[in-house]
Structure 1
Amino acid sequence: MSLEGQLIDKKSIRAVTGKTADWTELAKDCVAFATAQGGKLLIGIEDNADLPPADQRVDVALLDTIRKKISERTVNVAILPAIVSADNGGQYIELVIQRSLPVPSTSDGRYYIRVADSSKPVIGDEILRLASERSALPWETLTTHQVPRSRIDNTKKQKFCTAIRASDRVKLSVKEKTDDELLEHYMLARDQYLTNLGILCLGRREDRAQLGVAPVIQYIKYDETGQKVNKIAWDDFSLSPIEMLEAVWNEVPDWRESYEYPDGLYRQKIPHYDEVVVRELLTNALVHRPYTQRGDIFIKLYPDRLQIVNPGTLPLGVTPRNILHTTIRRNEHLAKVFHDLKLMEREGSGYDMVYEVLLAQGKQLPEIAEGPDHFEVTIRKRIFNPRIIDFIAKADSIYQLNQREKICLGLLAQNEAMSAFELCKSLELPDATYLKPWLDKLVQTGIVQSSGRTKGTMYHVSPELIKRLDFKATTTLKDIEVYRLQELVLKDLSKYGRAKISDIHNRIGKEIPRRRLQTALAKLVDDGVIGKQGGRKATAYVWLGNL
């Protein structure tokens, strides 16, 4: 059974039966799914279960009740309920909610959107954004410019059809289509005209220019003083987005620059900006930008960082805080073209791969910021610890880590030790319960060790593994044992007599998480070993031997 997330949610059978039925809540979830990508509600399976109760049976009449109740409480929402028998013999309702092109809402005028595993309200200016992004017909499929098929660029068309037929991501039945049928399959043409997407990808230069929103990319390089030292622009509309991706990578000489590190008898090259990372960020800029809004894509290269600025805000429901786990398609058909041409990863895995590559190279995570009419991604050039590169490669070869585990191990190796709270923040997870698929194997195999409880639990790479893989980690107090931390506090107070927590923190080690220090101080106070005076910001801790 699938886990709850962007496309699936589970609900108890009590949500639609008897006095516990909550039709308003069910209608809200249906609207949220219809607004995003559609999805399924599995009614009759509890949140913490994979299967319904073995003896559970569903009355067929309940399907009609659900249809009636949802239709009364929603607008522009289409549902398809069906009874499904699980492997254990129990029955549940699979409620399929179709994605709605007109903006869906509840009957009392409320709007919701599915974000990860939650149904979030859409309020204020977001409603206007939702309406503008959800026109009855997507921009990609419109033929408003009336460009006939005969004006297609035959060279681009031939390259496209050849690449599609060579792709292992395309079904055989699609590969067997004629060239004209392929154009219609990928929404590049309709009837006798090229669609906007067709003009964008396969049209002639002059027709692409007349679209008014075809992408323009500007690469600008700055020196240490902030002065421009180089500029390359792709602004003559001769290239499709597919060709622009290749042109930017091939024509910017700075992508070839790299660090060199000794690796035994050889030297290892680590690029300043990895090709996988650059291509993925450029692909996102080209595929997910709003093609109803003008604006150039800027690639800004500074001495210490790379910054990609994209016109338009993130799709509604995606924020810098949830971009790692949330996927909302803005240009569905363009994304399909890029995916089938193997120019982008499967849906939802792009930023995961960026995280994995950066951490495996000992670099910081990407910094994502959203402005009123743009969003930008910043990649830092600096490598914090070159030894992390070899360490993660060796750990992966021994334990065959998956992508999430490599990301988590990279974070811990880079930071020496992290609390559950810090990991959740870095991985954009709601709380510590979501860490299980990221950490379970690492802890079970002994790669990572833990101490403490709940969100204050500290995780660090196993000292034995560090020694075995010859990882030269720095000595840190981040994961110091509680009794040793208490000894440090007592030694500090015995010397100074009375001190605030900030002064103690500065003296014994700023890298120690403040929460751990607070816990240690509270325990010493409770045990009567030290005293506590004052309140709030004036609180001070006292060495009782001086009283």
Structure 2
Amino acid sequence: MSVSIRQFEQWLQSKEKEHLEFKEAKQQYDLERLKKYCNAIANECGGHLILGVDDNFPHNVVGTNAFQNPLSLKKDLLDLLKLRIDIEEFFYIGKRILIFEIPSRPIGLPLQYKGASYMRVGESLEPMTPEQLKRIFDEAQPDFSAEICNAATISDLDEIAVAELRHLWSSKSRNPQILTLPVEQLFSDAELLVDGKLNYAALILLGKKESLGKLLPNAEIVFEYRSIESSIQAQQRYDYRIGFLSIHNKLWDQINLRNDVEHIQEGLFIRDIPNFNEEVIREGLLNAVCHRDYNLQSSVFIRQYPALLEIESPGGFPAGITLDNIIYKQYPRNRRIAEVFQKCGLVERSGQGVDKMFRLSIEEAKPRPDYSKSDAFSVILKIIGEIQDIKFLKFLEKVSSEKKIEWTTQDLLIFDDIRQGKTPPAEFQNSIIRMSDQGIIEKFGRGRGVKFILSKRFYTFLGEKGIYTRKKGLDTETKKVLIIKHLENHGKGTMEELEQIFPSLSRHQIFNLLRLLKKENKIQFKGSPKKGAWILL
């Protein structure tokens, strides 16, 4: 491991998250607690533990005197935890930092320390719950969809579904011979028939109603419609227990029956945006079929409301997938089903398509797909259909057209974060720099106090120049004048008073202003650190 200054500064600009933990440890750090942290981070798929940086955001580099013999510590951790942890002594602005690079546990195997597998819960370390241990053990399970169903025969498959498989695969591959292949050859080429026996993927995708009822009754999709979210009783309900390729279009048609359209005026023309984007909904349904846990006896549920659609599928996220990485990381729980979807052109790759769902939602100025209610036993996807900000939508389209830019998912996530007043993740740094150079977003502040806003052009387009000025804030010289004015009016000023003047600034940023004024010999600090105040010279 060799950490660059740029990498370290990117970490400083990030809040603590799943794979990054800061500890002040100015003089020392408890060895027992260090071992538990290493165990917990390894159980959470690895990451970095950094000593010598406080864990409050924005982070201050304080340096550490802990563990003066990293080589000996590395050996002790290997002996006790059975983990090869890299430890690097790193110096930043003259201060010693210890960086621990902790590898992930093996797939399907939680690591233990003194009889417990630890996890982080806020600032605490706790033994993993049975739910989380189950998720880890489930990682080692084989692909259920590739397993042979000994009782199934070709007569158990639905002719309409088989015809749909031929049609989709032939169209995707541009190979008309698929339309006339013998059935056994078709299934063998699709890896649905192995050594003359059908696997569960064949049943899930192509099975007849009565065959699924007998051989795999939980391979069912239940559709419910309610006109009010608080309603317990569904006004309409359909149970679909038949091969998915028989009904994938029917499911969309059912949803589209009550798909209200919003009319967006664009000059002389009107553009229609439906509540539920067809591509987003289809991706959500494909994910539910492809990634659900067929060892659980529950069904997939689709719950539709006028402006909300919810898809609930049995089983938590597949191994290695979290709320933080779901857009980019791919791990299909049922790979054989995913591969058939890919052959049929239903998905672009044997992955999740979640990035497409996020991109399309933001492009239509709708909230992002929401997985926050998911747990170890079910994945719950909420798709909200209402357009949140029509002006934002029009601005994206205008800039895209003028600059000939095709937005990536990462670009749109940056836009959406900044629009909501959030700081984009540090790992988006390259895209942020490019968008800033293009004049699409603006950066102000320095170091850990850096902030981003949408460009002046955006607020001019909205007719909200005043909001731009407020968000941009005062320049450094104007802020210094305000501090001087306060000291002239009141004779002195405390940090608490200055925070009232600059509510959007951190203490660190205010202190930088005071330091500049002190360097210019305009102010000085008088009194004790706790009770003193700044005065004019």
Q: Which interval holds the TM-score relative to the shorter structure?
A: 0.5 to 0.7
Shift of 1:290: 0.9
Residue from 154, 159, 164 that aligns with 1:154: 159
Shift of 1:518: 2.4
1:382-414 deviations in Å (ceiling 9; x for gaps): 433211111111222223234135414532663
Number of residue pairs aligned between Structure 1 and Structure 2: 417
List runs of 5+ in structure 2 lacking aligned partners: 1-41, 46-81, 84-105, 118-126
Question: C-alpha separation between the residues in 2 aligned to 1:492 and 1:356?
Answer: 47
TM-score by length of 2: 0.65
Q: Report the CA distance between 1:183 and its aligned residue.
A: 0.7
Which of 510, 515, 519 is the matching residue for 2:508?
519
Question: Which residue of structure 1 aligns with residue 424 of structure 2?
Answer: 423
AA aligned opposite 2:251: V
**Corresponding residue number in structure 2 for 1:307:** 310
Could you tell me how far apart the structure 2 residues matched to 1:461 and 1:299 are? 37
Offset of 1:326 from its aligned partner? 1.4
What secondary structure sits across from 2:424 in the alignment? helix
Matches within 5 A, 1:366-405: 366-369=369-372, 370-397=374-401, 398-404=403-409
Residue of 454, 457, 471 corresponding to 2:450:
457
Change (3 A) 1:213 1:488: farther
Aligned-pair distance for 1:530?
7.8
Shift of 1:248: 2.3
Whole-Å separation in 2 of the counterparts to 1:413 and 1:481: 19
Give 1:200's aligned residue.
204
Deviation of 1:200 (Å): 1.6
Pick aligned residue for 1:212 from 209, 214, 217: 217
- The residue type paired with residue 285 of structure 1 is A
* Pair 524,507 (structure 1): closer, same or farther in 2 beyond 3 Å: closer
Amino acid at match of 2:355: D
Q: Say whether residues 1:251 and 2:257 are aligned partners.
A: no
Q: CA deviation at 1:423?
A: 0.5
C-alpha separation in 1, matches of 2:500 and 2:251: 48
Q: 2:194 aligns with which of 181, 190, 197?
A: 190
2:472 to 471, 476, 479: 479
SS at match of 2:472: coil
User: Residues of 2 paired with 1:381 and 1:533: CA distance?
Assistant: 59
* Native 8 Å contact 1:297 1:309 kept in 2: yes
- Residue 488 of structure 1 and its aligned partner are, at CA, apart by 5.5
Q: CA deviation at 1:481?
A: 4.6
SS class of match (1:235): strand
Q: Which amino acid aligns with 2:197?
A: Y
Task: Output the amino acid matched with 1:452.
Answer: G
In structure 2, C-alpha distance between the alignment counterparts of 1:382 and 1:493, rounded to whole Å? 50
Structure-2 separation of matches of 1:230 and 1:532: 70
Q: Which amino acid aligns with 1:423?
A: P
Q: Does 1:235 align with 2:224?
A: no
8 Å contact from structure 1 (residues 222, 229) kept in 2: no
Contact persistence 1:490–1:543 (CA under 8 A): no
Q: Match of 1:273? A: 276
Q: Structure 1: any 5+ residue segments left out of the alignment?
A: 1-31, 36-72, 75-99, 113-121, 425-431
Amino acid at match of 1:524: L
Which one-letter code corresponds to 1:204 in the other structure?
Answer: K
- TM-score (structure 1 length as normaliser): 0.64
1:366-394 deviation digits (Å, cap 9, x = unpaired): 32222241122223344332111111112
- Residues 385 and 496 of structure 1: CA distance in aligned 2, closer, same or farther (over 3 Å): farther
Moved more, 457-466 or 171-180: 171-180
Secondary structure, counterpart of 2:155 in structure 1 = helix
Matched letter for residue 424 of structure 2: L
Report the 3-state secondary structure (helix = DSSP H, G, I; strand = E; otherwise coil) of the residue aligned with 1:157: helix
Find out whether 1:321 has 2:324 as its counterpart: yes
| Paired residue secondary structure (2:226) | strand
Aligned mates of 1:290, 1:258 — CA distance in 2: 34
Q: CA deviation at 1:184?
A: 1.5
Is the partner of 2:406 in helix, strand or coil?
A: coil
Query: Corresponding residue for 2:172?
Result: 167
Tell me, yes or no, if the aligned pair for 1:532 and 1:540 is still in contact at 8 Å.
no
SS of structure 2 residue aligned to 1:423: coil
Deviation at 1:313, TM superposition (A): 0.5
Q: Is the 8 A contact 2:110 2:136 kept in 1?
A: no
Identity %: 19
Task: After TM superposition, give the deviation of residue 207 of structure 1 in Å.
Answer: 0.9
Tell me the distance in 1 between the aligned counterparts of 2:238 and 2:479.
Answer: 58
Q: Does 1:444 align with 2:444?
A: no
SS at match of 1:181: helix
Q: Distance in 2 between matches of 1:413 and 1:128?
A: 37
CA distance in 1, matches of 2:497, 2:382: 35
- Deviation sequence 1:445-479 (CA, Å, 0-9, x none): 23223233445422233324664xx3445614333
Shift of 1:317: 1.2
Matches within 5 A, 1:353-364: 353-364=356-367
- Tell me the CA shift for residue 164 of structure 1: 0.7
Q: Distance in 1 between matches of 2:149 and 2:526?
A: 74
Residue 314 of structure 1 deviates from its aligned partner by: 0.5
Q: Secondary structure at the match of 2:371?
A: strand
Contact 2:418 2:424 in 1 (8 A): no
Change (3 A) 1:533 1:333: farther
Letter in 2 for 1:395: V
How far residue 143 of structure 1 moved from its aligned partner, in angstroms, is: 2.8
- Could you tell me which residue of structure 2 aligns to residue 78 of structure 1? none
SS at match of 2:341: helix
The whole-number CA distance in structure 1 between the counterparts of 2:307 and 2:399 is: 29
Contact map agreement 1:288 1:331 (CA 8 A) in 2: yes
Q: Is the 8 A contact 1:356 1:406 kept in 2?
A: no
CA separation in 1, counterparts of 2:406 and 2:153? 51
- 1:308–1:378 Cα contact (<8 Å) kept: yes
Structure 2 residue 295 is matched with structure 1 residue 289: no
Moved more, 312-321 or 139-148: 139-148
